[in-house]
Structure 1
């Protein structure tokens, strides 16, 4: 494994996330207090919390938590069970361990670009990688498109894995079911694994557009989930891998012995409560997005000379284009330094696999403070 590069997005957040007055690019939904989460517990869940033993937990994850996670899947091959789930500390550990288990120096992998950096960087540290660019598509729902033929053309005889990120970070892209099925068919025809980062699943604008999890749809599919994004509970640091290949999960479990060994017992107990209240939490978060998106639509309509915008198909982030002559890097730097409004410039999504859009920025709209942050951005533009 080669040395990993600096994580550009996390470095940028380390500088600004906790000092900027207005966070207008969060990747997660509005969180809640411990008291609010405990109020969602059943009597049995509350008793389990009150009597929690603060010892080590199972490396694979508490059985009750794995069963709750499995219950969120219901694919055409039948639902998953607790034995098809491995709990991780956040989604990042899941990405890191799964790629370690799947890939070696003689392999090749394909990844969508732009993407969350670890999907590209960790893969590139292990094997050869080809990027397949998501194309801007103003006439398509969500404003972006994936060409399955281009993905198929990128494969090599030694391609072992295709890395997806759907719903997509940072664009909010969600393919049609036909495109999704075409990608699965391409992988199945060659016995290629699909690792799919699905942390925004559950935040589709239209429920009928929700895609199956890859672990449901494909026998060589490995789904990554987390409580951080769609559920708005990043402080729990709980993620998971779901897969029907239990031998692969066992290999990943043994790799976990070298990282976190096990998840925190309090987080696991709280995770059971959150998943038990899944429908209520996701409904709350969908309502918050529905309230914030019209504000963004109106804002970008007022400033169509400066921005190009199309609402994403899913998730709580989008990737609008900046039209200003000074460029998006100068614009985002000026906004945060003078007005305290944090946006993520395109440079944090740069890729070593080929050109990606350099005139975009990430905006987030899953928080209750989105209206005040947007008002601060409007004031900045008025004063410029």
Structure 2
């Protein structure tokens, strides 16, 4: 299978470890080992101290799946499959879809959520947002109009990267019903789960619909991207077994240390989510004040969830030209909307980094 380059990740590869400041990161600052292990219970410390660097179960070690299960309403241990998030997405698309299938996906979107389907040969319709009352909004009625007789999969991502949109609980249930009435599978990317700061947290799609597959992990919610740990949950056990078999050709199993550290995080979730949310809220406030002082330069649709916003530049050059000039002149890296295949006038802003006030001060001086 030939697949198109992942534009956002290629851009990060170019600048992430050389640029001095990152203003577009979707993850929060990573927690240190001492912080994670300092939260561990006696039994969790034993897991860590007795750790052997051998293979783990393909589906994920039982102690990890027990820790995952507590954050769902109906999901059982055999309805959980552990994998790196990108790997899980790649495998799912390959076992679920065939050339000619119709897929509905949000736009703009993290590229892997549609690119794999596209390169398999699927036909894709994009659910586009509008600005309503100063915020990004995806109207479920627009989604309904995109569904065709041969629609095989609907792909959603809430909280949404990059816009920060989340539907109401009732709207989310309506989206589920649209798929359920037609027997369409839903792939629900829930990587930013519980990072809600202006709306209610949503239930997992996998708890609401037997043909929904949900993806979650430690990178965004927990600020533990370095664990490379994620999981799929679904009532569709047959589909999960197909994903498991495909995984034998890729990672086979997860990292043993990551499974223990991930278990500690899941068992002490509030100690990760609460500081991350506090940081995100503070930075949104900082960015609002920055916007008020520079309102003529860009529009700021305030996000209600997640750790990112998608803002429109009111300047003469393209967002890519501005991004390249900015990183060269100041060391500040931003993601232009060209990388999301969404025009030439938006950029993504990330609110999960402690140094955001410092970066905004530098940016403001540069803009003047």
TM-score for both structures, normalised by structure 1: 0.93
Separation in 1 of the partners of 2:314 and 2:25? 22
Cα deviation, residue 211, structure 1: 1.2
Cα deviation, residue 144, structure 1: 1.4
Cα deviation, residue 69, structure 1: 0.9
More displaced 10-residue stretch of structure 1: 176-185 or 299-308: 176-185
2:25 counterpart residue number: 26
- Contact 2:311 / 2:347 at 8 angstroms: preserved in 1? yes
Q: Secondary structure at the match of 1:209?
A: coil
Specify every segment of 5 or more residues in structure 2 that has no aligned partner in the other structure, as ranges. none
Q: Secondary structure at the match of 1:170?
A: coil
1:285 counterpart residue number: 276
Of residues 341, 358, 376, the one that matches 2:362 is 376
Q: Deviations over 1:247-284 (max 9, x none)?
A: 11111100100110000100001111111110121111
1:322 counterpart residue number: 313
TM-score for both structures, normalised by structure 2: 0.97
2:325 counterpart residue number: 334
2:204 counterpart residue number: 213
Separation in 1 of the partners of 2:90 and 2:122? 16
1:263 counterpart residue number: 254
- The correspondence of residues 1-384 of structure 1 with structure 2, limited to 5 A, is 1=1, 3-74=2-73, 79-89=74-84, 91-139=85-133, 143-206=135-198, 209-350=200-341, 356-382=342-368
Q: Secondary structure at the match of 2:265?
A: helix
Separation in 2 of the partners of 1:134 and 1:268? 37
- Contact 2:23 / 2:334 at 8 angstroms: preserved in 1? yes
C-alpha spacing 1:358/1:178, structure 2 compared with 1 (3 Å): farther
Specify every segment of 5 or more residues in structure 1 that has no aligned partner in the other structure, as ranges. 351-355
Structure 1 runs of 4+ aligned residues shifted over 6 Å read: none
Q: Secondary structure at the match of 1:282?
A: helix
- Contact 2:104 / 2:127 at 8 angstroms: preserved in 1? no
1:353 counterpart residue number: none
